[in-house]
Amino acid sequence: MPQRLRPMLVVALLAACASPAAPTPTEPPSPSPSPEPMMTEPATPSPSPSAAAGSSLVFEWPDGDEPTVAREMTGLDESYINPGAVIDHDGTLHMFANVFTSWPGRVQVMHLTSTDGAAWELASDEPIMTSDDVPFTPSGHDVSTGFVTADGTWVLVFTTVSGVEPWVIGLATAPGPDGPWTIAPEPVLTGDPETGEEGGLSWPSVVATDDGYAMYFTSVTRPPRGGSIAMATSTDGLTWTRRDEPVLVPEADWELTALDRPRVARTPDGYVMVYAGRTLTDRGVAWSDDGVTWTRDGDAPALTAADLPVPNQSWDAALVYRDGVLTYYLEVGWRRTEIYRAVAPLP
């Protein structure tokens, strides 16, 4: 997915970047008075610390430089694809992938399935939902996580995407993976500008807990265009109560004062989070026994641009735990993106 610019820069740059070959998407709004520069080329490998010097997790790419899920598998003529939500249910993995061309803009969500996480097939020829179905988004939406409740209700959680409005978190429910999907008429979580959260909330990730569900998401704050990882809890997966304090704030040098895109999985030993710093190609790892108190795994990222299976930029992701192994589905590319698969056995 192309570089997501801060929206204060979008208006000034849209005319200059209107060429079909030039990416023009944005990140959630930032109140920063100093514009963030546009990335004009993919990230290149740098001498950032390797996984060996950072996290105890070591990711490998079993498919090499071949995408695990390619855009053409969806049957849609769009430029970008990310893994959206990946739900493991009754031995089958269900991927609700976001497929789109403009960012921020209209997104179509396609349903794919897999039994082993490696070979995927399209479950439905038609999108299970589009941004046109969301009543409270000014531009588009992006499915980010999902789960199945104890009574069999399927839930997808998404973030709205806009170049001018703070992002919010919404959800949709259905009796089964192919719908029909019903989108809640109002967001389930919104940011609080009075606390500096002027960019809103984005990129939720939900895991089941002993008491219900925990949601982790990015809180986009005031200058210097920072972000932290916040948390909310729910007993039913539909009504959410936010925790007052963030659970992870930027501290490591490589994070560059911003955290983003948390992806959380529950393991037999607790919880693991893979998250991004300001440079989205850098992904770190944190561990938690209770889902609230988190400890970084090393002082360096577990993944950098040098680790990607193809030399390019990484974007959105999904994280799955199965049988002692974490699988990280990662959107990689620039003017076109595909989904690649990284695996890491638990240490």
d(CA 168, CA 148): 22
Is the residue at 3 inside a domain?
Answer: no
What pLDDT was estimated at residue 14?
28
Tens digit of pLDDT for each residue in 88-146? 999 999 999 999 999 999 999 999 999 999 999 999 999 999 999 999 998 999 999 99
- Please give the Cα distance from 326 to 68 (Å, whole number): 15
Whether residue 35 lies inside any domain: the answer is no
Tell me whether residue 145 is in a domain: yes
Assign residue 144 the CATH number of its domain: 2.115.10.20
What is the reported pLDDT for 55? 80
Is 91 among the domain residues? yes
pLDDT (0 to 100) of residue 341: 98
Q: Are 190 and 201 in contact (CB under 8 A)?
A: yes
95-132: burial string, b at 16+ Cβ within 10 Å, e else: bbbbbbeebbebbbbbbbbbeebeebeebeeebbbbbe
Please list the ranges in the chain whose pLDDT falls under 50. 1-52
- Kindly state whether residue 200 falls inside one of the protein's structural domains: yes
Inside any domain, residue 20: no
| Counted domains in the chain | 1
Distance between start and end Cα atoms, the chain: 31
**Cβ atoms of residues 240 and 234 within 8 Å:** yes
Q: What is the pLDDT of residue 227?
A: 93
In a domain, 12, yes or no: no
Greatest Cα pair distance in the chain: 51
Q: Is 263 within a domain?
A: yes
Reported pTM: 0.87
What's the domain range around 312? 46-345
